[in-house]
Structure 1
Amino acid sequence: MITDGFLYLGVLLGLAACIVFVSQRGRSRFFRYVPGFVLMYLGTAALNTAGLFGESDSVESTGGSVQDALLPAMILLLLFKCNIRQIVKLGPKLLLTYAVTALSIVAGFVVAFLFLHGALDDGASKALGALAASWTGGSANMVAVQGVVHAPENVFGYVLIVDTVIYSLWLLVMFGSVGFSERFNRWTKAKTASFEQQETAGEEEGRMDLTSLMTLIGFSLFASAAATWAGEQLPEVGDVINSTTWTILIVSVLGLVIAVTPFARTAGSSELAMIMLYLIIGIIASESDFSSLTDAPLYLLVGVVVMVVHAGVMVVYAKLTRTELFSLAVASTANIGGVASAPVVASAYNRQLVPVGVLFALIGAFAGTFLGLTTVQILSVV
């Protein structure tokens, strides 16, 4: 049983290193559908269920302090590639399609919660809000919302399973949509848009070296500390807007500002953010176990309802606005899958459209956290 804080962090980082090594160097298709961070959560939770992590002040204080320090820094680094000027170039129709896609997912959570909340756990609204953040942004947004609302660890484990299963199935559906896109476009009477190839931030990155890594580590952690201090000085509003919310808002705005400057091209920001994400997920998972995993199917049903509502809204929107299937598929994948999968689905339609998928996903990297917090607020009053 581990009760020492340093050993605790060492085990988490060691597990993360093994998962990243195998997933990056392995040839199995398994890792295309099950992201490494999910394995990190499941593996850490399994170790905790087996009794590896003991309850001690050292472990709890170490994990909490590290998570509080790394969360704002991670969000800041991830937003380095979210160049608002490139996003504006997408045009109003594509931006509207993305907005409707994201809002349809939030509406799906509201509908599912209305029908099933009586059978869900007390903290389900918080966990589902975290899942909404993931499905309108990405894993980092899910972790950010969890850091604000503190959903019960076991329930958070359920929604992570839902995230993995639904994401995998939905990605297959989006790939399959290429085959009937022409028929769908004829049905909606869509005029196939001639999308201009977009330039994406990060293509001019230099070589990752000691200077770039030290610069990013030092700046991101300093910004995290400064934003945390500033957030503690601002007033709390309701149950959602607290010091952590203010901190995340501050680093999110700062990230958007930096994204349009040459500093955003400093090499290594995405890689460093992923290291932080793995460690944060490990800390969260170390407080959960699989003792109540039989409740997960109920949360899977919630996920299915959300997807049905999402798909229904998007089909109606496409018919009313004569929108082509490409926009719907890439916007949906950018929300639910994030930057890792949206470009892949876009390339299945046309390789020149890959930057559109990237920019869609980058919008979610900023908006997902706040959409997730909004979902928590709505579900709490339903």
Structure 2
Amino acid sequence: MPDLSYLAIDSLPLAFGIIMAIIGLVFYTQGLPGKFWRRFYAVLPGIVLCCFIPATLNSLGVFADGIGSQIYGFTATYLLPASLLLMTLSMDVPKILGLGWKAIAMFFAASIAIIISGPISLGIAKWISPEMFTDDTLWRGFSAVAGSWIGGAANQAAMKELFGVSDDLFGMMILVDTTNASLWLLAILVMAKHSAKIDKFLRADSSSIDKVIAAVESYERDHARPATLNDLMVMFGLCFAMVGVAHFVGGQIAGFFAPYSWAVQYSFASAFFWMVVIITIIGVIFSFTKIRRLDHVGASKFGTVFIFILIAAIGMQINLAGIVSQWRLLLIGLLWMSIHVVIIFVVARMIRAPFFFLAVGSNANTGGASSAPIVATAFHPSLAPVGVFLGILGYAVGTFGGYISTQMMRLVVG
């Protein structure tokens, strides 16, 4: 991969302008009537390109160090909660709850698959390269991956402290985590385009999902109207006011739990965790009030715009070049993720769960509340709240599941 670091962009506005131009170009070409573009986007969905193109530019050194993390920090702080609110306030809660038990079943199947896939992958790696396991360093290091893939960043940090992972090794494990999780995310986004064929393979009944989508589309057709300036000012004023409230209250609650070690391990001391919970609760409450009428003027569409900006910001943090430098650790992570994927496909086929439940249940574990709504949106924007709920559930079980997986890894290779 050529090195373009001498051209590195260190201007935050310019870097942000570039990713916005990429998103705009993707959507422009996606909307063109030509046969070439239809075939092109049938293979590579726009949502994948919005992530992969910034990732490629970052790997080539086009963006200076820290630029991607700054833009992601902005999107995660402001646009992620805003998108969650705008998408959640427009949802039909009874119909979402009517999706049934298979959504929860696939989430826990994905959690259990990650728990057992870690020890299996490390056992295979030890059999192939026993020299990598001369001490207890690696199984402790992979505890951070287990915590992240079942929960999120807070659970990952809890595993680091719990098992005494060194800073250098922790950095390598973040690379293993983000690279493999990002590859799986990209694979899901590609497969989402072909979910009907995958559902046929899984012998799944997706009628409950189709009913939710049909109800939302019917609601939009019956109530959609052109937005006025007054509509937009009220929408964004209310939206970002609630984002501010969620951050403030979330920080206060996290501060209350901070002195308790058990709370840290279970993400109760994470301000981000509480922010996501609070903004979701606010959105659910709004969905039962007249505020839901904001979707008549495109609230969920604005939420989708914010999600795509978040996707591009995530791409800016992916370094594809890291695959070469830490290839052995990355291969262990890839084996871990592959076993996880095989298990959840087997479970989905056994219980005839739609691919949507498989994809969102898996990513709610491996990606958390920040990317599970992205996966759900790839199927239909109205399904984003399902990703939010399962992502929050992932935070709740992340530390517990990560601890069990790590102890199993210790028994296998320790």
**TM-score between both structures, scaled by the size of structure 2:** 0.66
Check 1:197–1:281 CA distance in 2 against 1; reply closer, same or farther (3 A cut).
closer
Q: Which residue of 2 aligns with 1:48?
A: 58
Aligned-partner residue type, residue 54 of structure 1: A
SS in structure 1 opposite 2:321?
A: coil
Identity of aligned residues (%): 16
- How do 1:139-288 residues align onto structure 2 when only pairs under 5 Å count? 145=152, 152=174, 155-166=177-188, 168=190, 172=194, 175=197, 177-178=199-200, 200-201=215-216, 202-203=219-220, 204-209=222-227, 210-234=229-253, 235=256, 236=258, 237-239=263-265, 240-241=267-268, 242-266=270-294, 267-288=297-318
Cα pair 2:47 2:378 within 8 Å, conserved: no
Between the aligned partners of 2:232 and 2:118, the Cα distance in structure 1 is 43
**In structure 2, distance between residues paired with 1:2 and 1:250:** 36
What amino acid does structure 2 have at the position aligned with 1:97?
A: K
Question: CA offsets per residue over residues 178-232 of structure 1, 9 Å max, x none?
Answer: 4895xx99xxxxxxx9999667344344224234333322222111111111111
Contact 2:180/2:333, CA 8 A, preserved across alignment: yes
Structure 2 match to 1:108: 113
User: CA separation in 2, counterparts of 1:288 and 1:329?
Assistant: 26
1:366 to partner: Cα distance: 3.2
> Following TM superposition, by how much is the alpha carbon of 1:250 offset from its aligned partner in structure 2, in angstroms?
0.2
Question: Aligned in 2, Cα 1:211/1:279: closer, same or farther, shift over 3 Å?
Answer: same
Cα distance in structure 2, aligned partners of 1:100 and 1:216:
36
Q: Deviations over 1:7-64 (max 9, x none)?
A: 22222212221122223436334434544333222211222222222236x8765652
Question: What CA distance in whole angstroms lies between the structure 2 residues aligned with 1:37 and 1:306?
Answer: 24
- SS of residue in 1 equivalent to 2:264: coil
Amino acid at match of 1:158: N
**Runs of at least 5 residues in structure 2 that lack an aligned partner in the other structure:** 1-7, 126-137, 158-172, 363-374, 406-414
Amino acid at match of 1:231: G
Q: How does 1:1-382 map to 2 (within 5 A)?
A: 1-25=8-32, 27-32=37-42, 34-55=44-65, 61=70, 63-88=72-97, 90=98, 95-116=100-121, 122=142, 123-125=144-146, 127-129=148-150, 145=152, 152=174, 155-166=177-188, 168=190, 172=194, 175=197, 177-178=199-200, 200-201=215-216, 202-203=219-220, 204-209=222-227, 210-234=229-253, 235=256, 236=258, 237-239=263-265, 240-241=267-268, 242-266=270-294, 267-294=297-324, 295=327, 298-316=332-350, 318=351, 325=352, 328=354, 331-332=357-358, 335=361, 338=376, 340-341=378-379, 361=383, 364-374=386-396, 376-381=398-403, 382=405
How many residues matched? 331
Given that residues 213 and 268 in structure 1 are in contact (C-alpha distance below 8 angstroms), is that contact kept between their aligned partners in structure 2?
A: no
Residue 207 of structure 1 aligns with an amino acid whose one-letter code is: R
Cα distance, 1:108 vs structure 2: 1.8
- 1:56-115 CA-to-partner distances (Å, cap 9, x unmatched) read 6x8765652443122211211121233222335x3xxx6123322232222222222232
Write the distance in 1 (CA, Å) between the matches of 2:120 and 2:226.
Answer: 50
Cα separation, partners in 2 of 1:147 and 1:200, compared to 1, 3 Å = farther
Which structure has the highest helix share of the two? 2
CA distance in 2, matches of 1:179, 1:60: 39
Which amino acid in 1 is paired with 2:310? I
User: Aligned Cα RMSD in Å?
Assistant: 3.8
> Which residue identity lines up with residue 115 of structure 1 in the other structure?
I
What amino acid maps onto 1:371 in structure 2?
A: L
For structure 1, list consecutive stretches of 5 or more residues without a partner in the other structure: 131-144, 186-192, 319-324, 344-357
Query: CA 1:247–1:3 in structure 2 vs 1: closer, same or farther (change >3 Å)?
Result: same
1:161, distance to aligned residue in structure 2 (A) = 1.5
The verdict on how the C-alpha distance between 1:14 and 1:314 changes in structure 2, with shifts beyond 3 A counting, is closer
Pair 1:372–1:171, CA change in 2 (3 A): farther
**Aligned counterparts of 1:51 and 1:179: Cα–Cα separation in 2:** 41
Label 1:39 to 1:379 Cα distance change in 2 as closer, same or farther (>3 A): farther
Deviation at 1:247, TM superposition (A): 0.7
Contact (CA 8 Å) 1:84, 1:259: kept in 2 or not? yes
Q: Summarize the Cα distance change of 1:287–1:173 in structure 2 as closer, same or farther, 3 Å threshold.
A: closer
In the alignment, the residues of structure 2 paired with residue 32 and residue 315 of structure 1 have an alpha-carbon distance, to the nearest angstrom, of 25
Quote how far apart the aligned CAs of 1:300 are: 4.5
Partners of 1:154 and 1:292 within 8 A in 2? no
